[in-house]
Amino acid sequence: MKEKTPLMQRDGTRSVLASLLSILIGLVAGAVVVFLVGLFNKSMSLKTAWEGIQLIFLGIISTGRNAAGELTFGFNPVTFGNMLFRATPLILTGLSVAVAYKTGLFNIGAPGQYLAGTAATLFIALEIPSSVVPAWVIWILAFLGGMAAGALWGAVPGFVKAFLNINEVLACIMTNWIAANLVTWAFDVSNLKNTVENTKTAYIYKTSFNGVQTPKMFLDKIFPGSQINGGILIAIALAILMYIIFTKTTFGYELKACGANRHAAKYAGIKDKRSIILSMAIAGAMSGAAASLYYLAGNTEFFWSTYQSLPATGFNGIPVALLAVCNPIAVIFTGMFMSMLDISGLQLTNLTAYNEYITDVIISVIVYLSAFSLVIKLWLGGKAKKKAGAKPDANAEPAPKADAGKEAGK
Amino acid sequence: MEQTPEYVIEMLHITKEFPGIKANDDITLQLKKGEIHALLGENGAGKSTLMSVLFGLYQPEQGEIRKNGKPVKIESPNDATALHIGMVHQHFKLIEVFTVLDNIILGAEDTKMGFLQKKDARAKVKALSEQYGLHVDLDAKVEDITVGMQQRTEILKMLYRDNEILIFDEPTAVLTPQEIEELMQIMKNLAAEGKSILFISHKLNEIMEVSDRVTVLRKGKYVGTIDTASTTKEELSRMMVGRPVQLVVDKDPAQPKEAVLTVEGLTVPSKIHKNDAVKNVSFTAHAGEIVCIAGIDGNGQTEFVHALTGLEKASAGKIELCGRDITHLPIRARSQTGMSHIPEDRHKHGLVLDFTLEQNMVLQRYYEPQFQSHGFIRFGAVRSYAEKLIEQYDVRSGQGPVTVARSMSGGNQQKAIVAREIDRDLPLIVAVQPTRGLDVGAIESVHKQLVAQRDEGKAVLLVSLELDEVMNLSDRILVMYEGEIVGELDPKKTTVEELGLYMAGAKRQGKERESA
Amino acid sequence: MSFLIRQTLIYAVPLMIVALAGVFAERSGIINLALEGIMIFGAFIGVLFVRLVQQWGWFNVAKEMNNWVALQGFLLLTMVVAAILGAVFSLLLAFAAINLKADQTIGGTALNLMAPALVLFLIRLIANQNTLQMATGDASSWFMIKKTMFGFDKKAKLGFFASTFLDKVYLTTYVCIILFIILSIILYKTRFGLRLRSCGENPQAADSLGINVRKMRYAGVTISGALAGMGGFVYALTTTNCSSNGDVAGFGFLALAVMIFGNWKPLNIAGAALLFGLFKCIAAAYASIDINGDGVFLLANIGLNANFYRLLPYLITLLVLAFTSKNSRAPKAEGIPYDKGQR
């Protein structure tokens, strides 16, 4: 046993490297797709393909085209500000998936929880007249309402998992679609459809219509012209709060114990059912907060006839969380990375013949890689020497190991 | 003309290394045709590795394997099968939802255009089961038949494949004394018919009874091979452990004091079938005694312990602990009333395998003021407490308190649980199979600790399947059969044979006169 | 009534075949959460193939001649193509789950994200919009079987049986049903089926008997991918008029629920699929369902919101899972990567 573990052997280091490698492979895969399309598509030149590849990697510092039609790059406060604005909900849905995962649950229900949060937030923010109640009170109510609605919607799969032992993945998928239909239904019969701007159909009023919007907190001075507001700070604060809860408190200990081994937790007197429901409720609250902060920005509007599709922000919480190895602090950064990819996608649509869906391809490749991140980590640690490294107990004696295997196989 | 070789299988000078350890170091094992050859060694002595080499799961760095005197190369289980080597594994390799017949033919099916043809197979299996007295219902699903029958299915699997060399890996661990008796007979029959048998075990009684020769391994090394007839249990155990072993625990007679646990009419419904798993169980455990619930696996002991500790709900009855009615209390309240619990399944209940050792050490008491303030964990206190337990109970692990529990050996995992539960210092210790999977040395130490706790005035409720443990450790034996207490025995006045009859349901107190 | 049965079958058949896809993967020990993604991919491939073949003009003569036998052949060919590419796509899951011992839930989720992304990316490039359609004509004019093809007059009144099963139907329905039966028999009556099932229950045991667990699991996932890919195309053909838009509305997940509800057994799955098909059919066409043919649209007249009918299948799924989950028995080893060393 050495006193100090070398940097490369440390688990944290390897996790970070594995994530970076996943990102790199994902981007390269995107570039390859772009290149192949450029190669086989007669209407595209290789130059177009090269521009596409550049934008995939450098979209965040793209500043458009110059007079000569060449792509230009440089720092752009608007793009950066927008990146942070878009990162806000992604960080929160990422947290939603991450905290559930830490407690042994795969929260694929973030889209539904996000929709529940959206509905609650918009109803509160738009139905309470700001002429009667101060706007900042409405803002707080709407934010808390969104979180509560998300928590409630997250608790449903938690409840059926805890009491009926239904796989939470399936339950989440069903609650997603139920939410999509319920929300459509609720807005369909509401009086919140935007009738002022006639050009738009099936959109709900912006919250600023009722004078409710998230304060900028001087961030607009740093990133002038962008959509940024104080929401990003709230998201970061929530991430830190989650980090503290899950690493420092007995409450977090209980939730994690229950996630890692429900039976052992129960044996130790932890209320396993309560823990599962609470885990999912917390996860749901994060997704709800994601929706609240996005729509309370005041400049965003909600397409209410959503029964046929689920919000991508919810699903994108999965890669955000997985890339961060479910560490709440790391989620802040991976959330920003994902929103950076989004921006790159938009640049791609605006500046080339390609479209933004390539970023989804990249994201899916990254998720795919994170499914076997353990293998990548082992490989990085230089321990991929077959059998010894493939098992966690590489240093233990082999015979008891076989024994442990048998016990587990029982 | 070549003369018939003396040995059917020889493993000569086998060496198999894993990173950091030689699991097999120059081991030689020679099996004669028609003999029953025992392979003796503690957990970790290298028996499993040696068998994996024989089955082609591992390739040895050195040494060779010979069949009938000719060197052979075994690179996969298929090669072993082709050489007619078969094995009954300790944990059966059966598909529970398949029928017995399907299990037997799996991997060696007759087909016509890909479709299964079971008629000939059925006839062959029937003939084999007649020949060797292996009776089993071919159309029953494996999950519905007894463990003994499952073992017969495994034996039939080997015979169906015309195996000549039969390996039995710890075959008696799961059987009743009567079933063990039958198995011994079956093994003798098989050997008499010319099959060669390799019998892996650490139970000296059985080795002495059934085997012709014994090969002993210790810590990966070859100790020796001797004729069973010319040795004794004591000599074998010394060869196995490397020092003289105390086979019986030293203890003074118990001095029971006040009642700690009183169970009255406890009934627990079964999750599997409609009958009750535990029926109307009543008894009292006193401070200063070790009460043992003996019985064959699956006779309601698990459900009883679960109901006692709160993991399951009882449908009727009353439990009183330290004078307090705990029948309807949740798990934590029971444990706080004064009950610690060494669970039966250390991986399912005993440990959170993905937590570190220190996190596991406080699993039962993380919420105590000692380890938290205002909901925040006091990491320093947890660390020093874990270090104390590790030191005191000799729990060995790679990185001390921060070792992930999953990476520890089974024996040390169990030691950690025993340490955690005993150190809580509560009036009642419920110990369910506390020595399962431990080697002789560790068993000795756990037994000593339990006796020490008894002598300190704790009540110990021991639930065990091991007859030796039951006889050696307990002050009072309650035998459980099909959910009922069918007898209360004094270990000093009873014999293993009598205990076996109670466990098998052949005898019961209160009804003896009727059956006699 | 004929209409109701036909419509129910349209939804039930893809559900059934995709649920069977799930069975083949899970019975071999791999959780195939990617059914949804593979369906999306299969739908895209099928539609793309139809479109390309139309552009190449292979069957244009047959269409002009009204040679419906040739056109049905075209349809079968498309099913095969969708199945093959579905299988290829599913290899991504098999590779991650079997070779790299990946987390199967995450691996499946990755495929579910990848399929719509890739499909939409390509559709936008090919069609400059978000939906890919046939090059000419529509699904019904090219592929639908109508009574006139059997020599009946357009106005002829057919019996209940003929009008339900021979008029305004797609060949895919029957191909899927026949495939379903054949594959169920293979699963239970052949050596391959027996071995496949053993790998999902106890791979250690299978391995000890010389069965190649990897190969069996690859076979299970590949068959699963082929069926799901084909099911995706069938879904696109019959419910969205042979078009693809990177979405099958959670159908793959419903199929998973059907599989669990059907307890991983083909016969129960067929029943469950019919039940769910009925609810899906009600959701899609409640306004035009005239159950007893008296001209009264009962469901529409109740006056419930359309969204209620739309969420019904998902709500029922959840409720059904809630009531049946206690009795359900998943293959024991599903989702657990097989590690040879662990005996």
| Claim to verify: residue A380 and residue A315 sit in the same structural domain | no
Q: What is the pLDDT of residue A2?
A: 39
Residues C210, B77: C-beta atoms closer than 8 Å? yes
Of A253, A395, A400, the CB nearest to B43: A400
CATH code, A171 = 1.10.3470
8 Å CB contact between A315 and A138: no
Asked if the domains at B7-241 and B259-515 fall in one CATH topology, the answer is yes
One DSSP character per residue, A238-306 reads HHHHHHHHHHHBHHHHHHHHHHH-HHHHHHTT--HHHHHHHHHHHHHHHHHHHHHHHHTTSS---B---
Q: What is the pLDDT of residue B57?
A: 79
Condensed to tens digits (0 to 9), the pLDDT of residues B80-138 reads 888 999 988 888 899 999 999 999 999 888 888 889 999 999 999 999 998 888 889 99
Q: Classify residue A153: in a domain, yes or no.
A: yes
Find chain C residues with C-beta within 8 A of A190's C-beta. Answer: none
Residues A166, C105: C-beta atoms closer than 8 Å? no
- The span from the CA of C90 to the CA of C79, in Å, is 16
Chain A interface residues (partner B, CB cutoff 8 A): 1, 248-251, 253, 256-257, 260-261, 263-271, 385, 387-388, 392-404, 406-410
3-state class (DSSP) for residue A76 = coil
Whole-complex ipTM: 0.86
Q: What is the pLDDT of residue A386?
A: 38
Q: Which of A49-63, A263-277, B36-50 has the highest mean pLDDT?
A: A263-277
Encoded tokens for A358? 């390539």
pLDDT at A407 over 50: no
First to last CA, chain A: 32
Q: What is the pLDDT of residue C4?
A: 83
Q: What is the pLDDT of residue A6?
A: 60
Considering the domain delimited by B259-515, tell me its CATH architecture. Answer: 3-Layer(aba) Sandwich (3.40)
Amino acid found at B427? P
pLDDT at B516 over 60: no
End-of-domain residue from the set A326, A342, A361:
A326
Q: What is the pLDDT of residue C291?
A: 63
Condensed to tens digits (0 to 9), the pLDDT of residues B298-337 reads 788 999 999 999 999 999 999 999 999 999 999 999 999 9
Q: Does C341 touch chain A (CB under 8 A)?
A: yes
pLDDT at B515 over 50: no
Q: Classify residue A30: in a domain, yes or no.
A: no
Q: Which of B63-67, B389-393, C79-83, C281-285 has the highest mean pLDDT?
A: C79-83
Q: How many domains does chain A have?
A: 2
Residues B366, A260: C-beta atoms closer than 8 Å? no
User: Does domain C2-324 correspond to CATH entry 1.10.357?
Assistant: no
Q: How many CB pairs under 8 A join A and B?
A: 127
The mean per-residue pLDDT over the stretch B151-179 comes to: 87
- The span from the CA of C1 to the CA of C165, in Å, is 12
3-state class (DSSP) for residue B407 = helix
pLDDT at B240 over 70: yes
Q: Classify residue A157: in a domain, yes or no.
A: yes
Q: Classify residue A61: in a domain, yes or no.
A: no
- The span from the CA of A63 to the CA of A351, in Å, is 10
pLDDT at C15 over 90: yes
Q: What is the pLDDT of residue B333?
A: 94
Residues B97, C191: C-beta atoms closer than 8 Å? no
- The span from the CA of C73 to the CA of C67, in Å, is 10
Mean of all residue pLDDT scores within chain C: 88
pLDDT at B28 over 70: yes
Which of A227-241, B17-31, B209-223, B369-383 has the weakest average pLDDT? Answer: B17-31
Please, what sign has the CA dihedral across residues A200, A202, A208, A214?
negative
For chain C, give every domain's residue range: 2-324
Question: Taking phi first (over 0 means left), then psi (-120 to 50 degrees means alpha), and beta for anything else, what does residue C304 get?
Answer: beta
pLDDT at B221 over 60: yes
Find chain A residues with C-beta within 8 A of B52's C-beta. Answer: 402
The mean per-residue pLDDT over the stretch C295-301 comes to: 67
Could you tell me which CATH number the domain at B7-241 has? 3.40.50.300
Q: How many CB pairs under 8 A join A and C?
A: 161
Nearest CA in chain A to C325: A166
CA distance A76 to chain C (A): 27
Which of B87-91, B235-239, C163-167 has the weakest average pLDDT? Answer: C163-167
pLDDT at B4 over 70: no
pLDDT at B263 over 60: yes
- The span from the CA of A393 to the CA of A395, in Å, is 5
Find chain C residues with C-beta within 8 A of A189's C-beta. Answer: 305
> Does pTM top 0.80 for this prediction?
yes
Q: Which domain holds residue A388?
A: 375-409
Residues A368, C96: C-beta atoms closer than 8 Å? yes
One DSSP character per residue, B424-451 reads T--SEEEEESTTTT--HHHHHHHHHHHH
Q: What is the pLDDT of residue A396?
A: 36
Find chain C residues with C-beta within 8 A of A375's C-beta. Answer: 100-102
Instruction: Tell me the Cα Rg of chain B.
Output: 25
Condensed to tens digits (0 to 9), the pLDDT of residues A195-205 reads 777 667 778 88
For chain B, give every domain's residue range: 7-241, 259-515
The mean per-residue pLDDT over the stretch C110-125 comes to: 92
Strands B428-432 and B259-269: unpaired
| Claim to verify: residue A400 and residue A281 sit in the same structural domain | no
End-of-domain residue from the set A264, A291, A326:
A326
| Claim to verify: residue A261 and residue A384 sit in the same structural domain | no
Q: Classify residue A300: in a domain, yes or no.
A: yes
- How many angstroms separate the most distant Cα atoms in chain C? 70
Find chain B residues with C-beta within 8 A of A399's C-beta. Answer: 23, 43-49
| Claim to verify: residue A113 and residue A202 sit in the same structural domain | yes
CA distance C175 to chain B (A): 22
The mean per-residue pLDDT over the stretch A206-232 comes to: 86
**Cβ-based neighbour number of residue B380 at 10 Å:** 9
